[in-house]
Amino acid sequence: MSSKTELQRMIVSLLKTLPKERLTHYASFKQTQLERFQDAKVIEGISEDDLKLQYVALRELVNDKYKNYYKLDDKLLRPKGNPEYYERLLKEIKGDGKETLLTAMRTVVFGK
Amino acid sequence: MLRLNKANIAHSARYLSSTPRVCFQYRNSILDKYKQETEQIDAPSQLAKESSLPIIEQDLKIKPRQARMKMPLLSDHKVESPGYELSGFAKTFGELFVKIFRIDMDITRSGSVAGSLYFAECKKQGLFYPNEPMSETAKFYYETLNLPKSFSQQVQITLLHYWILSVRMRALPFKYAREYQQKLVDRIFKDLELRMSNELGINSNRIIEGNLKDYHTQLLGSVLSYDEALVSDDITFASALWRNVFNGNPNVDIRHVEALLAYVRSQLYVLNKMTDREFGFGRFKFIPPNEVVKPISKSQEEQMRQKVKEEFEKMTLPSQKSVLSVDE
């Protein structure tokens, strides 16, 4: 039981380190999972091995295992057809540089 | 006794030059600590199966409507039937037409490749019919990941695969990227409309229109989240998959989300290594979730490129002309 409590503590502390979502969605992964893994009843119904696997999976996601394993290069991340696409998108989401009416019109008319 | 002698002879007749290089490297075990550890990754379906977390069914609040009949994967038209070939006369006339009017074949090709081949690839991933055995990929979604068997779930799986392809399409020259994306998305929505009316048996056009608008909004939302996730990190990607594919299920198995993420990242990796020309000619097929994608070395990539170049150099017909790159 103590090992399960330890795993629960590790999962919760890992979930707490997750960044706040930039956009407000209908549900937040961080909040929902925090509530789930802080609930003693939920933990009771999960075996120690399964809980460990949940922790391992979460840790691998946090450590960007797949982003580093399947590395993409600039071919996809700065696409030829629209090199600024992801930069503009992230700027807009982060609120660093808002689109003006002119740039928005340009996107609608020319597609980029 | 005789056998022993033979073995001795064979052993004594070993030449100096036959000493394998591996042995030399092995002797320098002091350098082992500088060796990069090669990480092993299992196939997505294997990853997901490792978990035995008790399943808590998500309450969808409605009973999903199931298909009452089956439509063909693509259409009834003979052009889209497998193994169809133009007659000799039609081929010659077509080639002449393309040559005389200097038709841009990359734009023309986008219709058959994105609107037919890639559309079928996206559609069949999550496709299932009640009372019919499921395909291996459908089993991954509905049995291994335990997703609800509903039409909307099929749409979400199709939209995920559309997004994977659209990331690669964006890397084509702008003029062609637009054509490929447009044709794929048009066909997906046309098919949804037909399936809702024929397969699900929805008679009201108003309801179909409403559903299509909902799916369109979902498409915009999921493309935005996946795009954000692609340039962010794995946990943002996992959150986007959890919201869109796992329907925000609070009792989700995180190992399942990880498996789907591994699947999506592996598809993107394959697309990243594919040249524009190959992709534009419809050579891409989604790797099934029960197979592993292993990263390739620079030299392997070079070899692949060389083979592709040689293959496309042989294609000299007017209809096979293309400006898409064979180098990247």
| ipTM for the whole complex | 0.92
> In A, which residues are within 8 Å of B271 by CB distance?
76
Q: 């809980």: which residue's tokens?
A: A51
How confident is the model over B154-174, as pLDDT tens digits? 999 999 999 999 999 999 999
Of A23, A70, A80, nearest to B171 by CB-CB distance is: A80
Residue B56 CB-density burial (10 A; 0-12 exposed, 13-18 middle, 19+ buried): middle
Q: Which residues of chain B are within 8 Å of residue A75 when distances are taken between CB atoms?
A: 171, 272, 328
pLDDT at residue number B38: 57
Confidence of residue A42 (pLDDT cuts 50, 70, 90): confident
Q: What is the mean pLDDT of chain B?
A: 87
Q: How confident is the model at residue B33 (pLDDT cuts 50, 70, 90)?
A: low
Closest-CA distance, A51 to chain B, in angstroms, reads: 8
B290-304 per-residue burial string, b: 16 or more CB within 10 A, e: under 16: eeebeeeeeeeeeee
Q: Do A69 and B265 touch (CB under 8 A)?
A: yes
Whole-number pLDDT of residue B25: 44
Return the closest-CA partner of residue A50 out of B46, B240, B55. Answer: B55
Return the percentage of chain B with pLDDT > 70, whole number.
Answer: 88
Q: Which of B290, B295, B291, B268 is nearest to B279 (CA)?
A: B268
pLDDT of amino acid B24? 43
Any idea which of B38-42, B61-65, B321-325 has the lowest mean pLDDT?
B38-42
Confidence (pLDDT) at B19: 41
pLDDT, tens digit, 9 for 90 and up, residues B178-212: 999 999 999 999 999 999 999 999 999 999 999 99
pLDDT of res. B327: 86
Least CB-CB distance to B171: which of A22, A47, A79? Answer: A79
**Which residue, chain included where needed, has tokens 């259409």?**
B75
Higher-confidence position of B324 and B22: B324
Q: Could you tell me which of B47, B171, B105 has the C-alpha nearest to residue A69? A: B47
pLDDT score recorded for residue A111: 78
Q: Name the residue in chain A with its Cα closest to that of B246.
A: A29
Q: Which residues contact B140 (CB under 8 A, 6 or more apart)?
A: B44, B45, B48, B288, B289, B290
A45 and B54: CB-CB below 8 Å? yes
Please tell me the predicted confidence (pLDDT) of residue A27: 87
The DSSP output letter for A83 is T
Over chain B, what HEC string results?
CHHHHHHHHHHHCCCHHHCCHHHHHHHCHHHHHHCCCCCCCCCHHHHHHCCCCCCCCCCCCCCCCCCCCCCCCCCCCHHHCCCCCCCHHHHHHHHHHHHHCCCCHHHHHHHHHHHHHHHHHHHHHCCCCCCCCCCHHHHHHHHHCCCCCCHHHHHHHHHHHHHHHHHHHHCCCHHHHHHHHHHHHHHHHHHHHHHHHHCCCCCCHHHHHHHHHHHHHHHHHHHHHHHHHHHCCHHHHHHHHHHHCCCCCCCCCHHHHHHHHHHHHHHHHHHHHCCHHHHHCCCCCCCCCCCCCCCCCHHHHHHHHHHHHHHHHCCCCHHHCCCCCCCC
Q: Compare all CA atoms of chain B with the CA of A52 and give the residue at the minimum distance.
A: B51
Average pLDDT over chain A, rounded to an integer: 89
How many angstroms separate the CA atoms of B258 and B144, rounded?
Answer: 13
Looking at residue B3, its amino acid is: R
Where does the pLDDT of residue A4 fall: very low under 50, low under 70, confident under 90, or very high at 90 and above?
confident
Q: Sorting pLDDT into bands at 50, 70 and 90, what band is B26?
A: very low
Nearest CA in chain A to B328: A75
How much of chain B exceeds pLDDT 90, in percent?
A: 74
| Packing angle, helices A48-62 and A2-16, rounded to 10 | 20
Instruction: Assign A48 to helix, strand or coil.
Output: helix
A48 touches chain B (CB under 8 A): no
Q: What average pLDDT score do residues A73-85 get? A: 91
Q: Which residue of A has its CA nearest to B252?
A: A33
Would the pLDDT of B17 be above 50? no
Confidence of residue B13 (pLDDT cuts 50, 70, 90): very low
**Domain range list for chain A:** 2-69, 74-110
- The distance of B2 to chain A (nearest Cα, Å) reads 53
Any CB–CB contact under 8 A between A93 and chain B?
Answer: yes
Calpha distance B327→B276 (Å, rounded): 8
Among A18, A64, A69, the residue with its CB nearest the CB of B39 is A69
User: How confident is the model over B90-108, as a mean pLDDT?
Assistant: 94
In chain A, whose CA is at the least distance from the CA of B237?
A61
Confidence category of residue B60, pLDDT binned at 50, 70, 90: confident
Q: What is the mean pLDDT of residues B135-140?
A: 93
Q: Which residues contact B27 (CB under 8 A, 6 or more apart)?
A: none
Percentages (nearest 5) of helix, strand, coil residues in chain A: 65, 0, 35
Mean pLDDT, range B247-263, rounded to an integer: 94
Among the ranges given (A3-7, B220-224, B225-229, B251-255), the one the predictor scored with the smallest mean pLDDT: A3-7
DSSP conformational letter for A98? P
Name the residue with tokens 């050579």. B283
Interface mutation target, options B254, B260, B323, chain A, most CBs of A under 10 Å: B254
**In the structure, what pLDDT confidence band is assigned to residue B34 with cuts at 50, 70 and 90?**
low
Give me the pLDDT at residue B22, please: 41
Q: What is the mean pLDDT of residues A46-58?
A: 92
Q: What is the pLDDT of residues B268-320, one digit of tens each?
A: 999 999 999 999 999 999 999 999 999 999 999 999 999 999 999 999 999 99
- Mark yes or no for CB contact B231/A86 under 8 Å: yes
Nearest CA to CA, how far is A59 from chain B (Å)?
Answer: 10
Closest Cα partner for B94 from B74, B109, B110, B115?
Answer: B109
| Chain B CB within 8 Å of residue A59 CB | no
Q: How many CA atoms lie within 13 A of B87 on its CB side?
A: 3
* Alpha-carbon gap, residue A13 to A34, rounded angstroms: 9
**Yes or no, beta carbons of B295 and A70 under 8 Å apart:** yes
B284: Cβ–Cβ under 8 A, 6 or more apart, which residues?
Answer: B118, B121, B165, B168, B270, B271, B274, B278
Could you give phi then psi for residue B126, rounded to 5 degrees? -110, 15
Q: Among residues B286, B273, B258, B280, which one has the least CA distance to residue B127? A: B286
* Across B19-27, average pLDDT: 43
- pLDDT for position B269: 96
